[in-house]
Structure 1
Amino acid sequence: MTEPAPELVRGELTRELARAAVAARTGVLRVTGEPGGDLHVVHGLVVTVDSPGAPGVRALLARPGRTSTGVADLRVVAMMAAVDGCFAMASGWIGGCHWQDAPEAAGRPEEAMPPVPGVEPGWLLLETERRLGALAHGRVSPHRNHLLLTERGRAMLSGPGSGSRREILLWANGRRSCRDISMLLCRSLYAVTVEVVRMLDDDLLAIAPVTPDPPIPEPVRGIGRSLLPRRRRGASGINDTLPPRPPQPARGQRTLTPRRTERTT
């Protein structure tokens, strides 16, 4: 994976979150790009991060086989989702960011408080950069590259057990990326990407070749009669079903018709 430019994380996004922390700002910092996302900030702390590039809190809690331990578990999962969402945005393409007002909460003021405590913006950005650095030489993009099985991967998939790798092998069909698989498994995007990097090194997975789009034909200028399909005489086969026409006289030639002879009595 080519390492995203660190200034994208430390630049405009860092400045905006730092100002929000000092001013104890509340609002939504929208990050444009691919996949992009929203950072929900309450009193200068990042409460949740919503990004189409990573599973959210509900998806992580809905992972099959997971058992919840209550409020403490919810806080840990919310922190994991916030870091994972920020990693998803930073590992893609960032166009810019701007603030939006937070949606008004109905009812009493305490109902506007988030169900989990927020995280410090500085720690969130440092953890994001640490994850980007750990995958800088992983030769796979969590969003762009599609994964397919190798012969060794097929053999492992058909064999008895394969641990958590089996989940990834089942979905690697050449049309899914790390992001797609993490959504299907309700697992952290970073965790799936790390495992995919190891499976690439173990020759269990390969990156699917990029198929270029077929070229769009340019419009033909000056379509003339020479480009129209030509009719071949007798190609319709009508002469094979209809009786032949009698020979016709040439133009300007008189047609001689036999005269009727009169009978005399």
Structure 2
Amino acid sequence: MSAAAVTAPWQLQALGRGSARELVRELAHAAAGAHTGVLRVTGEPGGDLHVVHGLVVAVASPGAPGVRELLSRPGRISTGVADLNVVALMSAVDGAFAIASGWIGGCQWQTLPAESSVPQDSMPPVPGVESWWLLLEVERRLCALAHGRISPHRNNLLLTERGRVLLSTPGTGQRGEILLWADGRRSCRDISMLLSRSLYAVTVEVVRMLDDDLLAIAPIEPERPAATESAPASGGRSLLPRRRRGASGINDTLPPRPPQPQQRGQRAVTPRKPERTS
């Protein structure tokens, strides 16, 4: 299967919309031309895809734990070079998933020598995977989470009452680790970093816990405008915003009409009092 084949919209429905098309197109062109360089993806969280001769050897993103973080997870036992290669491959796929599940602003190539295109901390780099395989893995993950309606980066998580009860129960395992950090200020990305676990694995578990009513999505608080005037000295009054004269800007377009002098013989108009009826 060629890299250009994955650009078909019926094969990449999740990656076939918006700015993700540019990422798919650039990787397809890199594979076709055996390009070497770093494809920098701007956005939130964004990241870098390291490509050598058209093959993706590493993906680094601030939205997902890297190889070092995944290896540092407590209780993990390495079994040698083969295990390191598996972890490096998982990190590359997870980094690509983090980029695609966020907001993509654009892509730009940084041309570097082949020996400089591999990050020094990849421990070790992926031997090299076809871009179409990487994109299909990302597509599969995005489709699997489509029903969850949660952003791994923007939505913060809260404990429900059932979640608090489960957290107080011993032996909760990996769910207990997630519940421990669900304080309304952390997202799936934050928790995956704290636990040194794959972003996709944490997001999948969070979706299941949302379905089980163990977690809830914290409401997004609107940004409060900066105070322009000092608060009144009296603490009993409600702090309502004061309207400043001319704040609407209407006088910048239509200047106020100057006061007109009263002409001689003109009677001043006074409001008529309502008549009393029996």
- Shorter-chain TM-score: which interval? 0.7 to 0.9
Return closer, same or farther for 1:197/1:146 CA change in 2, 3 Å cut-off. Answer: same
Give % identity: 75
What residue number does 1:67 align with? 77
Return closer, same or farther for 1:116/1:86 CA change in 2, 3 Å cut-off. Answer: closer
Match of 2:112 among 102, 112, 115: 102
What residue number does 2:191 align with? 181
Q: Give runs of aligned pairs for residues 1-265 of structure 1, distance below 5 A.
A: 6-8=16-18, 11-102=21-112, 105=115, 115-216=125-226, 220-221=244-245
Task: Identify which range, 179-188 or 208-217, moves more after superposition.
Answer: 208-217
Gaps of 5+ in 2: 1-12, 117-123, 230-243, 248-278
* Structure 2 SS opposite 1:63: coil
TM-score normalised by structure 1 residue count: 0.75
Return closer, same or farther for 1:53/1:10 CA change in 2, 3 Å cut-off. Answer: closer
Gaps of 5+ in 1: 107-113, 224-265
Alignment partners' CA distance in 1, 2:148 and 2:73: 26
Q: What's the offset of the Cα at 1:217?
A: 5.0
Q: What CA deviation, in whole Å up to 9, does each residue of 1:116-170 have, x standing for no partner?
A: 3011100001111111111111021100000011111111111121121010011
1:13 partner amino acid:
L
* Structure 2 SS opposite 1:140: coil
Return closer, same or farther for 1:40/1:215 CA change in 2, 3 Å cut-off. Answer: same
RMSD: 2.2
Alignment check: 8 A CA contact 2:36 2:114 kept: no
Alignment partners' CA distance in 2, 1:11 and 1:222: 48
1:129 partner amino acid:
E
Alignment partners' CA distance in 1, 2:74 and 2:171: 18
1:177 partner amino acid:
S
1:56 partner amino acid:
G
* Structure 1 SS opposite 2:146: coil
Alignment partners' CA distance in 1, 2:20 and 2:105: 14
Return closer, same or farther for 1:102/1:70 CA change in 2, 3 Å cut-off. Answer: farther
1:170 partner amino acid:
L
TM-score normalised by structure 2 residue count: 0.72
Alignment partners' CA distance in 1, 2:78 and 2:222: 45
Alignment check: 8 A CA contact 1:8 1:90 kept: no
2:85 partner amino acid:
R
Return closer, same or farther for 1:221/1:215 CA change in 2, 3 Å cut-off. Answer: same
Q: What's the offset of the Cα at 1:115?
A: 4.3
Alignment partners' CA distance in 1, 2:93 and 2:110: 21
> How many residue pairs were aligned?
214
Alignment check: 8 A CA contact 1:4 1:92 kept: no
Alignment partners' CA distance in 2, 1:166 and 1:218: 45
